[in-house]
C-alpha cells in the first residue's frame, strides 16, 4: 500500500490531453516537492518533472506538473504513442522518500 | 556524464546471502546521497533507503529496516545493497538512484539519475 495514491490506469487518444493525479498528505506532498518518473517496460525509471513543475532537459514541454495542497498532477498534451508508459509520482516525508503506486498510460 | 552502473543479474536459493553493487562515476561520490529502489515483478516502485557516502549516514524505509543493509566503499565510488538470508519474496528488480537536493540546497527532492537495474531471483 503506497502512501501516495495514483489511479491504476488512464487512457486517451493520440493528440489528446491526459492528466494523472497523485494524492498524499500534509506530511509528504503538503510540505515537500513532487517529482514524476516515466518507465517503459524493461527499463529504468526516468525523471520527467521535478520540484512540482520543472522539466529536466530532454523532457518535452508537452509534459507539465502542478501541485495544490496535498495533491499533484502530471499533464501530458498532444499525446503520442511513444508516451505510453508507467508514470510514478514521488515525494519525501521527514527525510524518507515514497512513490505512488504508478499509473499505466495507454494511448489508444 | 553521471553514470550509475549496477552489477549483473543474480540467481540465489532461499537462505543464501547476497550483495549487489552500484558504481557511480561522473560526479563527486561523497557529496551526494545514493539509494535503492525495489520493483517486484509487475509491481510499482518501492523506496528502500539511502546512504550519504561522506559519513555513511543511512536512512531506511520502515518496510525494509532490518531486512537489508545499505553500505558504500568510498574508495571505489560504489554503493551496495546486502541481504544476509534471502527469501523468495526478495525476487525483484533493484535500482540504485541518486537523490538530488532541491533548489534551496537543504532538502532532498527527486531522483535525477538511475542505474540500469539488477534482477535478483530467489528460488529453490
B104 interface with A at CB cutoff 8 Å: no
Q: Tell me the residues of A at the B interface, defined by beta carbons under 8 Å apart.
A: 2, 32-33, 35, 37, 39, 44-47, 50-51, 56, 86, 88, 90, 92, 95-102
pLDDT band at B22 (very low <50, low <70, confident <90, very high): very high
Beta-carbon contacts of B28 under 8 Å, excluding residues fewer than 6 positions away, are none
Nearest CA in chain A to B118: A44
At residue A79, the pLDDT reads: 97
Across-strand partners of A103?
A: A87
Between A and B, how many residue pairs show a Cβ–Cβ distance under 8 A?
69
Instruction: Write the residue in B35, B107, B117 that is nearest to A44 by C-beta.
Output: B117
CA B14 distance to own-chain centroid: 20
At residue B105, the pLDDT reads: 79
On whether the CB atoms of residues A24 and A39 are closer than 8 A, the answer is: no
Q: What angle do CA B49, A30, B114 make, to 5 degrees?
A: 35
Nearest CA in chain B to A87: B44
pLDDT band at A90 (very low <50, low <70, confident <90, very high): very high
The DSSP secondary-structure symbol of B7 reads P
Copy the grid coordinates of residue A20.
494523472
Question: Mind listing the pLDDT tens digit for each residue in A11-57?
Answer: 999 999 999 999 999 999 999 999 999 999 999 999 999 999 999 99
- Report the percentage of chain B scoring pLDDT > 70: 100
Mean pLDDT of A67-74: 96
Mean pLDDT of B103-107: 82
On whether the CB atoms of residues A38 and A46 are closer than 8 A, the answer is: yes
At residue B87, the pLDDT reads: 97
Across-strand partners of B38?
A: B46, B94
Amino acid at each position: 500500500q503506497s502512501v501516495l495514491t495514483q489511479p491504476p490506469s488512464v487512457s486517451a487518444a493520440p493528440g489528446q490531453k491526459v492528466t494523472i493525479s497523485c494524492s498524499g498528505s500534509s506530511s509528504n506532498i503538503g510540505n515537500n516537492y513532487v517529482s514524476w518518473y516515466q518507465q517503459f517496460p524493461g527499463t529504468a525509471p526516468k525523471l520527467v518533472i521535478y520540484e512540482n513543475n520543472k522539466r529536466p532537459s530532454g523532457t518535452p514541454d508537452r509534459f507539465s506538473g502542478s501541485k495544490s495542497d496535498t495533491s499533484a498532477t502530471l499533464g501530458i498534451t498532444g499525446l503520442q504513442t511513444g508516451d505510453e508508459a508507467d508514470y510514478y509520482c514521488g515525494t519525501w516525508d521527514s527525510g524518507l522518500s515514497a512513490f505512488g503506486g504508478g499509473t499505466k498510460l495507454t494511448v489508444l | 556524464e553521471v553514470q550509475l552502473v549496477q552489477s549483473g543479474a543474480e540467481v540465489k536459493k532461499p537462505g543464501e546471502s547476497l550483495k549487489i553493487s552500484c558504481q557511480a562515476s561522473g560526479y563527486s561520490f561523497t557529496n551526494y546521497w545514493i539509494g535503492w529502489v525495489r520493483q517486484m515483478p509487475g509491481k510499482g516502485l518501492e523506496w528502500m533507503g539511502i546512504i550519504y557516502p561522506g559519513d555513511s549516514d543511512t536512512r531506511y524505509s520502515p518496510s525494509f529496516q532490518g531486512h537489508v543493509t545499505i553500505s558504500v566503499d568510498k574508495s571505489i565510488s560504489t554503493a551496495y545493497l546486502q541481504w544476509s538470508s534471502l527469501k523468495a519474496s526478495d525476487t525483484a528488480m533493484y535500482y540504485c538512484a541518486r537523490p538530488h537536493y532541491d533548489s534551496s540546497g537543504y532538502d532532498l527532492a527527486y531522483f535525477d539519475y538511475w542505474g540500469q537495474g539488477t534482477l535478483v531471483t530467489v528460488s529453490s
